[in-house]
Amino acid sequence: MSEESAQRSSEAESADRAGMPRRLLLRLGAAGSAAVALAAARNTVGPSLAQRGLLTPDGIVDAASITLANAIYTEVFPTSPLILSPFNDLLPIPRAMAPVPTSEVQSWANPPGPGPGQQNSLGNERHQLWPSTIGFPDPIVYKINLQVADHAFTSSQVLPIDSHGRPTVSFDAAGRTYPAGTRRTLPNSTIYGFNGTFPGPRINAEYGKPVLVRFENHLDENPLGLDRQDFGAPNWSFLTHLHNGHTAPESDGNPHYSMRFGPRLQGYLPRMWVDNLYLNWPAGGDDREKQSFFWFHDHRMDHTGANVYKGMVGLYPIYDPKNGLDMGDERQGYRLPGVRTDNPNGSFDVEYDIPLALYDCRLDDGVTLHNDAHDAEFPDAHNPASHPEWWGKTFFRHFPNHGFVGDIFTVNGTAYPVLEVKRRKYRFRFLDASVSRIYEFKLMSSTQGPKSAVSLGLGGDTELQGQFRIPDGQQCMQFTQIAADGGLVPFPFKRDSFELWPAKRREFVVDFTRYQDGSPTTKGDVIYLTNVMKMPDGRMWSNSSRFSSDPNYKVPVLKIVIGDDAPDDSQVPTQLRPLPPLPANWRNMLDNRLIFEVTRGGAGGEIEWLINGKPFDPTTVATSLKNPAGQALLAQPRRGSFNLWEIRNGGGGWVHPFHLHMEEHRTVMRNGRDVTGGGDPAHPDDVAREDLAALDPSESVIVYRGFRDFVGPYVAHCHNLAHEDHAMMFGWEITP
Ligand SMILES: [Cu+2]
């Protein structure tokens, strides 16, 4: 969409809702906004399909359209060039971002504050709950600009290869062609990044100390004159969600909110800003609801996957200073690994406490056709076409069918990095920031070291995914899990491997002084963080430890080198954070539960993925399937209530990482079995608080959760971002 047409649609959106103030809309609820819903659905279900004449006047894709829509997908991906010197670039470890000094904030033309119109640049919102209301100090202020920038995934030279692993031709932006066998240096990829970096800034937060981030859109500026290619929200809008902060709707960055309030668009356009207020306050003020690792990422409707893949990822570990329990100081509280340094600028850093954000990508080979249902939104690309001028830069297809998996695996923005550790314990905070890929990690040693899959005679897209193997890799250490999505678990537990689904966080302590057989490590020893899950496409894995493991699929993603001894005051505690109470009579709530079934629809295209048979409608709340009590309830809980929600995977051989915003849940039943006394062995984290339900094919979970402290619109959705962007999402709302 051009800037001009973005402006036009912005005006149209505003006109649609002119004179309809927020409170009125809230009161109108689902029934009253039905008319608005229909109009909005036409705008949001699929502009590109509409432009191609594939939408019928009533907004339903007809049978002929389905055939056409299916015909316009190209599910062929390029093979990325082979990285020739992996495991040489150092793992980037983001330092804590500096807050904006108070004096500077006060000099802003529109400083943050609790008053009417102070929450965004449109002047139409206020913060629902300013920190003083709950006895908290004013927020620490950060400023993050959305920027066009460039990023290098590796400093290594590369060898262009085809899907059989054979050397092939390559290209450059100047129109030159290089013969097969020519080693190349990669061009930087264009990113849309928080402050222009990937991953974006890291904010080290603390409970009791609210944070306000002013996100400001500068994506209309392109100072380096970079090629924007054909993905990323076409109108350059953004919508930032702190996953899974206990946050008021206006700061939550979700499209059920943004289409109705605030920007009244899928996201905030260039030159707009929004103040997201993160109270760093646990749900219900209950310490047992405290979490430990958030991330902030784009949530712009219809282009979340593209925007996240284009770089909109930031890290937000949250510490708990109360009684020194988890404040980044291993000498007190739970004594988890971490040595804290308070910086003069008000931030703090914690050594031995390292976030690891996993992200897979593909680089353009210059010959693969760019072709999908979104092409009309990027007219400058003249798709369907191949783009030799983009050779070596990130390749993305919106791909409503199978999702999107890359063949280069990166950690903290660097492909196949190396980390030197001291001989002591570390805390690792894992995050899957990938569009669709699920990982399963083990810690392995290897005498022979990594070999390229090509050099082992392997070929074909699936076998080349990950590029490298450690054929003689053997598990040598265990992980001690200390946290899941929802924060510290009640008791640490050991794991030989763990799965990491999109948007999931898992935290582990790893002791680098000893191997699992008890023998000591020595300086210079090498350990590989190794992915053993083979996932050929976004549907699901073909091989993992749980299902037909492939002993040959051992892809090293991070090389860890043992260094010198270092003091270690940390301990692995026997107990961590207790779970919030589950009412003894929770089974009595089963009949009245809300039921949401995620399925693959028959319509394809923009509305391929459905919940309870419907594509996402941002203007209204979803309706539950009929529950055992015979009711089809609206997803409209009252503030302060608790309920059971069932999420069903409607089958078809797909897995779905299903995410519910705003409060952590606890799984009470999986596949009809009570798991409160101990999880399903396949899902050991069911005993933890989570915000993401991992659903194997045809599985169902029933979760218990609360709806506290705020009112207004939220969403729940599949976090396979290709599914989310093609309508597998629903709106829900907390009413006063
Ligand atoms: Cu899904």
CA of residue 561 to ligand 1 center, whole Å: 37
CA of residue 181 to ligand 1 center, whole Å: 40
**Both tokens assigned to 669:** 């039943």
CA of residue 169 to ligand 1 center, whole Å: 36
Of the pLDDT bands very low, low, confident and very high (cuts 50, 70, 90), residue 622 is very high
CA of residue 515 to ligand 1 center, whole Å: 38
| pLDDT of residue 719 exceeding 50 | yes
CA of residue 717 to ligand 1 center, whole Å: 8
Per the model's pLDDT, the better-predicted residue between 726 and 307 turns out to be 307
CA of residue 657 to ligand 1 center, whole Å: 6
| pLDDT of residue 63 exceeding 80 | no
Distance CA 27, CA 47 (A): 30
Distance CA 471, CA 495 (A): 22
Which tens digit of pLDDT belongs to each residue from 401-425? 778 999 999 999 999 999 999 999 9
CA of residue 402 to ligand 1 center, whole Å: 10
Per the model's pLDDT, the better-predicted residue between 69 and 375 turns out to be 375
Helices (H), 411-551: 461-464
- Kindly give the pairing relationship between strand 526-531 and strand 177-178: unpaired
CA of residue 598 to ligand 1 center, whole Å: 8
Report, as an integer, the average pLDDT of 572-588: 95
User: Using an 8 Å Cβ cutoff, are 294 and 283 in contact?
Assistant: no
| pLDDT of residue 44 exceeding 60 | no
CA of residue 377 to ligand 1 center, whole Å: 24
CA of residue 695 to ligand 1 center, whole Å: 9
Of the pLDDT bands very low, low, confident and very high (cuts 50, 70, 90), residue 73 is low
CA of residue 726 to ligand 1 center, whole Å: 10
Q: Is 602 exposed, middle or buried (0-12, 13-18, 19+ CB in 10 A)?
A: exposed
- Least confident range of 15-29, 493-507, 676-690: 15-29
> Can you point out the beta strands (E) in 63-183?
82-83, 140-151, 157-159, 170-171, 177-178
Of the pLDDT bands very low, low, confident and very high (cuts 50, 70, 90), residue 3 is very low
Query: From residue 401, how far is each of 74, 647, 710 by CA, in Å?
Result: 10, 21, 36
CA of residue 596 to ligand 1 center, whole Å: 13
User: Using an 8 Å Cβ cutoff, are 726 and 709 in contact?
Assistant: no
User: Using an 8 Å Cβ cutoff, are 378 and 372 in contact?
Assistant: no
CA of residue 312 to ligand 1 center, whole Å: 20
Of the pLDDT bands very low, low, confident and very high (cuts 50, 70, 90), residue 74 is low
CA of residue 718 to ligand 1 center, whole Å: 5
| pLDDT of residue 70 exceeding 60 | no
CA of residue 138 to ligand 1 center, whole Å: 39
Share of the chain above pLDDT 90, in %: 83
* Average pLDDT score over the chain: 90
Distance CA 540, CA 651 (A): 12
Share of the chain above pLDDT 70, in %: 90
Report, as an integer, the average pLDDT of 386-399: 95
CA of residue 197 to ligand 1 center, whole Å: 28
User: Using an 8 Å Cβ cutoff, are 94 and 245 in contact?
Assistant: no
CA of residue 651 to ligand 1 center, whole Å: 11
Q: Which residue has the tokens 């206020």?
A: 126
CA of residue 102 to ligand 1 center, whole Å: 43
CA of residue 571 to ligand 1 center, whole Å: 38
Calculate helix-pair angle for 22-32, 34-45, nearest 10 degrees: 90
CA of residue 200 to ligand 1 center, whole Å: 26
Which tens digit of pLDDT belongs to each residue from 149-166? 999 999 999 999 999 999
Q: Which residue has the tokens 């600009």?
A: 145
Of the pLDDT bands very low, low, confident and very high (cuts 50, 70, 90), residue 296 is very high
Of the pLDDT bands very low, low, confident and very high (cuts 50, 70, 90), residue 681 is confident
Of the pLDDT bands very low, low, confident and very high (cuts 50, 70, 90), residue 687 is confident
DSSP annotation of 637: P
User: Which residues neighbour 107 within 8 Å (Cβ) at sequence distance 6 or greater?
Assistant: none
| pLDDT of residue 43 exceeding 70 | no
CA of residue 640 to ligand 1 center, whole Å: 29
pLDDT of the residue at 403: 83
Secondary structure class of 81 (helix, strand, coil) = coil
Which tens digit of pLDDT belongs to each residue from 495-538? 999 999 999 999 999 999 999 999 999 999 999 999 999 999 88
CA of residue 720 to ligand 1 center, whole Å: 5
| pLDDT of residue 66 exceeding 70 | no
CA of residue 733 to ligand 1 center, whole Å: 22
Report, as an integer, the average pLDDT of 104-119: 98
| pLDDT of residue 17 exceeding 50 | no
Distance CA 339, CA 330 (A): 6
Which tens digit of pLDDT belongs to each residue from 478-507? 999 999 999 999 999 999 999 999 999 999
Report, as an integer, the average pLDDT of 101-126: 98
Q: Which residue has the tokens 């109360």?
A: 322
User: Which residues neighbour 185 within 8 Å (Cβ) at sequence distance 6 or greater?
Assistant: 157, 158
Q: Which of 362, 393, 397, 356 has the alpha carbon at shortest distance from 377?
A: 397
CA of residue 405 to ligand 1 center, whole Å: 14
Of the pLDDT bands very low, low, confident and very high (cuts 50, 70, 90), residue 263 is very high
CA of residue 624 to ligand 1 center, whole Å: 18
CA of residue 558 to ligand 1 center, whole Å: 28
CA of residue 77 to ligand 1 center, whole Å: 20
Of the pLDDT bands very low, low, confident and very high (cuts 50, 70, 90), residue 372 is confident
Secondary structure class of 36 (helix, strand, coil) = helix
CA of residue 658 to ligand 1 center, whole Å: 7
pLDDT of the residue at 52: 31
CB environment 60-76: b (16+ within 10 A), e (fewer): ebeeebbebbeebbeee
CB environment 116-128: b (16+ within 10 A), e (fewer): eebbbbbebbbbb
Maximum CA extent, the chain: 72
CA of residue 647 to ligand 1 center, whole Å: 12
| pLDDT of residue 125 exceeding 60 | yes
CA of residue 563 to ligand 1 center, whole Å: 42
CA of residue 636 to ligand 1 center, whole Å: 23
CA of residue 433 to ligand 1 center, whole Å: 15
pLDDT of the residue at 600: 84
- Cα angle value 188/189/191 (rounded, 5°): 130
| Partners of 695 in beta bridges | 656
CA of residue 540 to ligand 1 center, whole Å: 10
CA of residue 600 to ligand 1 center, whole Å: 9
Of the pLDDT bands very low, low, confident and very high (cuts 50, 70, 90), residue 71 is low
CA of residue 309 to ligand 1 center, whole Å: 17
CA of residue 694 to ligand 1 center, whole Å: 10
Which tens digit of pLDDT belongs to each residue from 432-480? 999 999 999 999 999 999 999 999 999 999 999 999 999 999 999 999 9
| pLDDT of residue 569 exceeding 90 | yes
CA of residue 33 to ligand 1 center, whole Å: 27
CA of residue 485 to ligand 1 center, whole Å: 18
Which tens digit of pLDDT belongs to each residue from 216-244? 999 999 999 999 999 999 999 999 999 99
CA of residue 612 to ligand 1 center, whole Å: 13
CA of residue 61 to ligand 1 center, whole Å: 21
pLDDT of the residue at 402: 76
CA of residue 319 to ligand 1 center, whole Å: 31
Of the pLDDT bands very low, low, confident and very high (cuts 50, 70, 90), residue 721 is very high
Report, as an integer, the average pLDDT of 291-314: 98
Distance CA 527, CA 340 (A): 26
User: Using an 8 Å Cβ cutoff, are 733 and 714 in contact?
Assistant: yes
